[in-house]
Amino acid sequence: MSKVSNVKVLFNGIIKENPVFVLLLGMCPTLGTTSSAINGLSMGLATTFVLVASNVVIALIKNIIPDKVRIPAFIVVIATFVTMVEMAMQAYLPALYESLGLFIPLIVVNCIVLGRAEAYAAKNTVFSSMFDGLGMGLGFSMALTLLGATRELLGTGKVFSLSVFPENYGMLLFVLAPGAFIALGYLIAVFNKLRKA
Q: What is the pLDDT along the chain (197 residues), one digit of tens a residue?
A: 566 677 888 888 888 889 999 999 989 899 999 999 999 999 999 999 999 999 999 999 999 999 899 999 999 999 999 999 999 999 999 999 999 988 999 999 899 999 999 999 999 999 999 999 999 999 999 999 999 999 999 999 999 989 998 888 889 899 898 999 999 999 999 998 988 87
Examine residue 12 and state whether it is found in any structural domain, yes or no.
yes
Examine residue 189 and state whether it is found in any structural domain, yes or no.
no
Examine residue 75 and state whether it is found in any structural domain, yes or no.
yes
* Packing angle of the helix pair 177-196, 126-156 (nearest 10 deg): 120
Question: Based on the structure, what is the number of domains in the chain?
Answer: 1
Examine residue 153 and state whether it is found in any structural domain, yes or no.
no
The distance of Cα 141 from the centroid of its chain, to the nearest Å, equals 5
| Domain boundaries, position 72 | 3-148
Examine residue 124 and state whether it is found in any structural domain, yes or no.
yes
Distances (CA, A) of 159 to 10, 89, 152, 153, 171: 27, 22, 6, 5, 14
What is the reported pLDDT for 142?
A: 96
Examine residue 184 and state whether it is found in any structural domain, yes or no.
no
What is the reported pLDDT for 3?
A: 64
What is the reported pLDDT for 105?
A: 92
Examine residue 16 and state whether it is found in any structural domain, yes or no.
yes
Examine residue 114 and state whether it is found in any structural domain, yes or no.
yes
